[in-house]
Structure 1
Amino acid sequence: MRPISAAASVDLRGVQVVLTDMDDTLTFDGKLSAETYDALERLEAAGVRVIPVTAAPAGWCDQMVRMWPVTAVIGENGGFCFSREGTSVTRRFWSTPDMLEAAQSRLADMARTIMKKHPELTLSDDQPFRRTSLALARPEDRATARAVLREFEARGASATANSLWVIAWFGGYNKVTAVRKFLPAITGLDIDLDRDRLLFVGDSANDAPMFAHMPKSVGVSTVTRHLADIPHPPTWVTKGAGGAGFVEVADAILANRPDAPAKALPARSAESH
């Protein structure tokens, strides 16, 4: 990994959309700083769209897309995308309503079984606000976290861990496939064909698919704690942790913006549910 400060101007000047993890990437120790929020506003003012791609629950994502200077939020590791046009919020889900209901039942059964086997585990305190996933508070012991992931997968679920949770879901998607599904409707861009116009920022193991897929990827400094679980590390790394690292990324992008406005992206749909 190279420092983001060493990124060439040519690598950053064409970035039109920043895809970013949230927990411990935009935030740090559970807090969003004024400096990080200001960085989001500065990117938006410069015409750079920001889309959090996060494991955070639907309840948090609804608040973020309504009140933050972001274009959309892809939540629960890809289970849905909430986007905003004016005051209207469009909600798109990976699964149909029937599939989602069946998945919720399977996740509840799985939680009871695994928590009975591992009584030290607890549900995440945001589980009531989730629509598509099961999240357990991440055990401090890395070996226990990995054992839980294996148990999720043995029951047919997709599973990953981040700095806060051990997460399971049904549907076979991840952050990359969710961006592939939802991004064109929001921006008109394609995660495979337009990678030179996209940049991803993350910090932990559940960001591994994005680090592997995105040539322009940045890990905030705490990514170094998780490299054992990230087969393909990010291209660049920041000095700062969490939101301070994201501010470094925003500053680097904005410092390398061309004088002329970037080519306008297609207008977002005003469709709402």
Structure 2
Amino acid sequence: MRDFESITSGEARSVRYVLCDIDDTITTDGKLTARAYSALWDLHEAGIRVIPVTGRPAGWCDLIVRQWPVYAVIGENGAFVYYLKEGHKRVFLHPSVATGDVQGRLEQVKQACLKGVPGCRVSGDQFARIYDVAIDFNEEPPYLGLAAAEQIRDICVKMGAQAKISSIHVNTWYGDYDKVSMAKLFLQETGETDPRESVLFFGDSPNDEPMFGYFPMSCAVANIAPFLEKLSHKPTFLAGQQSGAGFAQCVKTLLARR
């Protein structure tokens, strides 16, 4: 891994899209700081298309695409993309999103997690979700830690569901998709024949690993540290600071090198 300050002018000028996780990547202790939000605007005004790639729910993503300076938002770990076209919100749904009695199957997974890992609970934003269930292990107390998150994930996988660990939730769903498969599909829809040549991705947790592995230019904010040993695919760059401060500093460096 390289310090982000080592990014070259050539690398910086190749970036046309910045994709970024939200929680603990551009937020700090659950808040989107003025500094991080200003960094999003700086990217937008520089002509770089920003696409948050998040496990957060459809309801949040509807607000984000309407009110943040972003080109689009990928939500619920790749189930859909929301974007604006001629002032109207459009929806790009992943072709592998599961159909049928998905909610019934997810309910069974949810109950198994709640029973199997004492102290875990359904996330506070579950009411705004369409395609997945989020089990909270670290957003609100009691904070259960990574070992509990791994137990939750294992229960989900044993029941045939997909499951990814973020810094706060374990997201679980049925369907053959994830963050990186949707990012590739949507960028190809925009005309990018090889998205890897034009993207810089920012993340902070294990569910960002497929993005780290796919995009040659990726960066983790410093709070990735507890997870690094568990990652087979590590980010290209490492920010010098944590969370939103790390993201904002990297954006400043990126734009200066251009």
Q: TM-score, normalised by structure 1?
A: 0.88
SS in 1 for 2:63: helix
Structure 2 counterpart of 1:184: 188
CA shift, 1:101, in A, is: 5.0
1:71 aligns with 2:71: yes
Native 8 Å contact 2:53 2:75 kept in 1? yes
Q: Check the 8 A contact 2:78/2:94 in 1, yes or no.
A: yes
Q: Please provide the CA RMSD for this pair.
A: 1.6
Q: Quote the Cα distance in structure 2 between the aligned partners of 1:162 and 1:128.
A: 19
Distance in 1, Cα, partners of 2:170 & 2:35: 29
| Cα distance, 1:95 vs structure 2 | 4.8
1:145-224 mapped onto 2 (5 Å cutoff):
145-185=149-189, 187-190=190-193, 193-224=194-225
Per-residue CA deviations over 1:195-245 (Å, capped at 9, x if unaligned) read: 121110000000000001111000011111211332111111111211111
In structure 1, what is the equivalent of residue 116 of structure 2? 117
> SS state of the match for residue 150, structure 1?
helix
Shift of 1:77: 0.6
The structure-2 alpha-carbon separation of the partners of 1:194 and 1:117, relative to structure 1 and needing over 3 Å to count, comes to closer
CA shift, 1:80, in A, is 0.7
1:26 is matched with: 26
CA distance, structure 2, for counterparts of residue 157 and residue 142 of structure 1:
19
Confirm or deny that 1:92 pairs with 2:92: yes
Which residue matches 1:129?
Answer: 128
Gaps of 5+ in 2: 138-142
Structure 1 residue 118 displacement after superposition: 3.0
Q: CA deviation at 1:96?
A: 7.7
Distance apart, 1:14 and its partner CA = 1.2
How has the CA–CA distance of structure 1 residues 96 and 177 changed in structure 2, closer, same or farther, with 3 Å as cutoff?
A: closer
1:85 is displaced (CA, Å) by 2.5
The residue type equivalent to 1:150 in the other structure is: D
Contact 1:100 1:132 in 2 (8 A): no
2:41 match: secondary structure: helix
1:108 aligns with 2:107: yes
Contact kept in structure 2, 1:127 and 1:135, CA below 8 Å: yes
Q: Provide the C-alpha distance between the structure 2 equivalents of 1:142 and 1:44, rounded to a whole number of angstroms.
A: 35
What are structure 1's unaligned runs of at least 5 residues? Answer: 258-273
Q: Which residue identity lines up with residue 128 of structure 2 in the other structure?
A: F
Runs of 4+ in 1 over 4 A off after TM superposition: none
Aligned residue type for 2:149: A
TM-score after normalising by structure 2: 0.93
* Equivalent AA in structure 2 for residue 188 of structure 1: G
